[in-house]
Amino acid sequence: MKIIMNHDKAFTHGGIFHADDVFSAALLRMMNPDIFIERGNQVPDGYDGLVFDIGGGAFDHHQEDRRVRKNGIPFAAFGLLWEKYGKNFLESEEDRTDFDEKFVQKLDESDNTGEPNMIAECVAEFNPDWLEPDCNRDERFFEAVEFAQAILERKFKQIQAKRQAYTVVQGYLEKSRDGIMIMDRAVPWKKALKNTDIYYVIFPSIRGGYMVQAVPQDESESGRELKKPLPEKWRGKTAEELAELTGIAGFTFCHLSGFICAVKELDEAVRVAELAMKMEENE
């Protein structure tokens, strides 16, 4: 990644580290791979680099007048840095806001309130334990930073891939019919199918064959509420039972929740979707 910030050095607190200062450091390194990040108990007098998570400046959150979001979640250093520099990673304001709400705010909340967070817990494990009195804590900190940077890089890549997928799915949508959309490759499709009349999506499986997946309801926050789940009597049945129930020999699997099923051939997958369209959920 090209250098997209002017700072060539930064300072944060020493001692025990957390996801907040670790992800902050990772973000800074992604903007400037050559940035020198130093840790310590007090910001040096006259320090002219970027200071975060210590010192009471723009990227600290330990002072009485710390900033709090409208939803009540206080900013932590990571959130403050993301607010200023996020546009360097994600061009779309919608993507930046979504990443903030689903990822950044979760870490900010954990750091400020102790709310359990799996990623924060994983980062904490990089700290030396009591049986490692001679361990270099700074070395462990930068190991954790590498871990965090790998997560951020994958997150940003996936977000950008999903945005590109939106345009691709529009092409499949134009060719869809009777509530069924067929794709010749697996592409993220859920966002593109909001407010459409598509009930089932067919796409190639990485295991071979094809998947038929039910589309979530537009208002479903979890994605678990489906417009039209696959029929109840198919769920959890063996391949032999499914073939007997439907007359489709290549119908091999249907998930217990009714959200997805597996079929060997494309024409069979289309038949499964068409049959499901005609049936009620509890049939």
Domain ranges, residue 92: 9-163
Instruction: Tell me the C-alpha distance between 89 and 103, whole Å.
Output: 14
The answer to whether 174 and 193 are in contact (CB under 8 A) is no
31 and 133 in a single domain? The answer is yes
Instruction: Tell me the C-alpha distance between 201 and 22, whole Å.
Output: 40
Sheet architecture: strand order including 36-40? 36-40, 9-13, 50-51
Residue 45 covered by a domain: yes
Residue 2 covered by a domain: no
Q: What is the pLDDT of residue 6?
A: 73
129 and 203 in a single domain? The answer is no
Residue 168 covered by a domain: no
Q: Which two tokens stand for residue 47?
A: 């320090």
33 and 78 in a single domain? The answer is yes
Residue 169 covered by a domain: no
- The total of other beta-carbon atoms located within 10 Å of residue 133's CB is 7
268 and 189 in a single domain? The answer is yes
Instruction: Tell me the C-alpha distance between 136 and 25, whole Å.
Output: 18
115 and 192 in a single domain? The answer is no
124 and 44 in a single domain? The answer is yes
The answer to whether 77 and 24 are in contact (CB under 8 A) is yes
Q: Which two tokens stand for residue 57?
A: 């400046």
Domains contained in the chain, number: 2
Q: What is the pLDDT of residue 282?
A: 59
21 and 159 in a single domain? The answer is yes
156 and 206 in a single domain? The answer is no
Domain-ending residue, one of 132, 163, 194? 163
Question: What is the DSSP secondary-structure string of the chain?
Answer: -----S--EEEEE-SS--HHHHHHHHHHHHH-TT-EEEEESSPPTT--SEEBSSTTSTB---STT--B-TTSPBP-HHHHHHHHHGGGT---HHHHHHHIIIIIHHHHHHHHH----HHHHHHHTTS--TT-TT--HHHHHHHHHHHHHHHHHHHHHHHHHHHHHHHHHHHHHHT-BTTEEE-SS----TGGGTTS---EEEEE-TTSSEEEEEPBPTT-SSS-SBSSPPPGGGTT--HHHHHHHHS-TTEEEE-TTSSEEEESSHHHHHHHHHHHHHS-TT-
Query: Which parts of the chain have pLDDT scores under 50?
Result: 1-3
Average pLDDT of the chain to the nearest whole number:
94
Q: What is the pLDDT of residue 283?
A: 61
Residue 4 covered by a domain: no
End-to-end Cα, the chain, rounded Å? 54
Instruction: Tell me the C-alpha distance between 157 and 219, whole Å.
Output: 26
Q: What is the pLDDT of residue 1?
A: 43
Q: What is the pLDDT of residue 235?
A: 98
Domain-ending residue, one of 112, 138, 163? 163
The answer to whether 81 and 24 are in contact (CB under 8 A) is yes
Domain-ending residue, one of 141, 163, 185? 163
Q: What is the pLDDT of residue 231?
A: 97
23 and 76 in a single domain? The answer is yes
Q: CA 110, 114, 115, 117 torsion: positive or negative?
A: positive
141 and 207 in a single domain? The answer is no
φ, ψ dihedrals at 126, nearest 5°: -75, -20
Locate tokens 């799915």: which residue?
169
